[in-house]
Chains A and B, each alone.
Chain A
Amino acid sequence: MKKNEVPQDKSNLESANFKELCYAVDENGEYTTELSTGWSPKTIALNNAIEAINERVATSKQRVRDLKASPLEYYMELHKMDLSILASYVGIWKWRVKRHFRPAVFNTLNNKVLQKYADAFNITIEELKRTDL
């Protein structure tokens, strides 16, 4: 990549006033660095990934509203987590966390366990229990 070919496309970096460093060759063939505002092939990839996450969040939201899943599932997706990440944040085995996704099981949880989840998602127990998202 030549220094003048370092892409300066519009990207999500702009909002945070952020530029990334790229390595490129100058006109004498010497390596140097150049700041880049973004590159569309990866902006598209990132946007697609975010869209996929948003879809997952929307699906789980609907499942919570339909009382097919407990709010834990929704908050997990909202925080871009998966089962193993959530399990390690709350310090509960994966299979138990998975069980807590069932509304019937979730409703029997005591405050001590609920507090762990609430801390992980940075909300209160009352907020965590709400199913009218």
Chain B
Amino acid sequence: MEIDFKHKQAAHCENGVVANLMTYNGFTVSEPMVFGIGSGLLFTYIPFLKVNHAPVVSYRAMPGIIFTRFATRVGIKIKREKFRNAHTAKARLDENLKRNNPVGLQVGVYNLPYFPDEYRFHFNAHNMVVYGKKEDIYLISDPVMETVTSLTEKELEKVRFAKGAFAPKGHIYYPTAFPEKLQLEKAIIKGIKHTCRDMLAPVPIVGVKGIRKIARLVRKWPKAKGVKIANHYLGQIVRMQEEIGTGGGGFRYIYAAFLQEAGKLLGNNQLLELSKEMTLIGDQWRDFAVEASRIYKNRSNNVAVDQYDHVATLLEDIANKEEVFFKKLKKAI
């Protein structure tokens, strides 16, 4: 069976799944809107945790939480299920498909056959929609892909039961109840307020303070860890910022798109201005990536320490700009 599901490519998987599922159910919502209302924008440095032998920074909220926040704020209900064993997980999925209900799935990336080899890491918070089944082939709409794809039963089971951090455990989710009309206005204001609170939080590893913390670490790394490791760490920061799913500039451009859409919807000109400002901040993040890549491009060990100081200064500058930005944004709504 095949459900008439419209696939639309998105920058980020979670927003994309939500936007596509909403569109299927007759509510057209854009990807930036989902991201903004779900307060997806963030900056965090997670000490103690290492991925790929390097420290972890994240430019967005925890996996899954964007949809949860979006749902409560616009007034839809979602059902989420996780499973102990693969058998019931598969049965429940088939049941939903039989009821003509496309479902969102959390999966691991490592065993996805249609991903380029270089991108297959043990990352378990990828999202996709299953919208049908033909014999033992599942029809898949993966929002980061240009077109729809498919997976065999075995392949799907493998990615649904990937192990490691954020193990999906066969996680499926779908909206169950909708309001008559989406209350976007209130939801937007809530979403923006939440993001401002997060970015200005008085926590040393979150938001603006988190960026400053990373800037300090970048200065320290070449001396404390040696150039080779410092470059590896720096490369990881850039990858978290720019790799598939961010829409560029560590989600800052998506957020700027959201502010523009929100400004028009609410008739708030200040938001339109702030959207332009956010775009400039996104450009600064891109500049940081370019400068950082100059350092890690040559893998030799004779990189001058002042180059690290230079990129750290760029980060501090971004932190200052974002601090001013989010204070203004808070007042604008």
Contact = CB atoms under 8 A, between A and B. Distances in A.
Do A and B originate from a single complex? yes
B247 A31 contact: no
Interface string A35-72: 11001111011101111100000000000000000000
Contacts of B277: none
A20 interface: yes
Interface residues of A, number: 40
A80 B50 CA distance: 13
A123 to B, nearest CB: 15
B116 interface: yes
Contacts of A12: 116, 118-119
Interface in A13-27: 13, 15-16, 18-25
Contacts, number: 119
A88 B244 CA distance: 26
Interface in A67-118: 79-82, 84-85, 88-89
A33 interface: yes
A24 B248 contact: yes
A7 B165 CA distance: 32
B257 interface: yes
B118 A46 contact: yes
B236 interface: yes
A13 B243 CA distance: 11
Contacts of B235: 44-45, 48-49
Contacts of A51: 299
Contacts of B247: 21-23
Nearest to B116: A16
Nearest to A34: B248
B290 interface: yes
A35 B260 contact: no
Max chain B Cβ within 10 angstroms of own Cβ: one of A52, A84, A89: A52
Interface string B235-252: 110110011100111000
Interface of A: 1, 6, 12-13, 15-16, 18-25, 29-31, 33, 35-36, 39-42, 44-46, 48-52, 79-82, 84-85, 88-89
Q: Which 6 A-B pairs have the closest CB atoms?
A: A41-B293, A31-B257, A23-B253, A45-B235, A16-B116, A88-B163
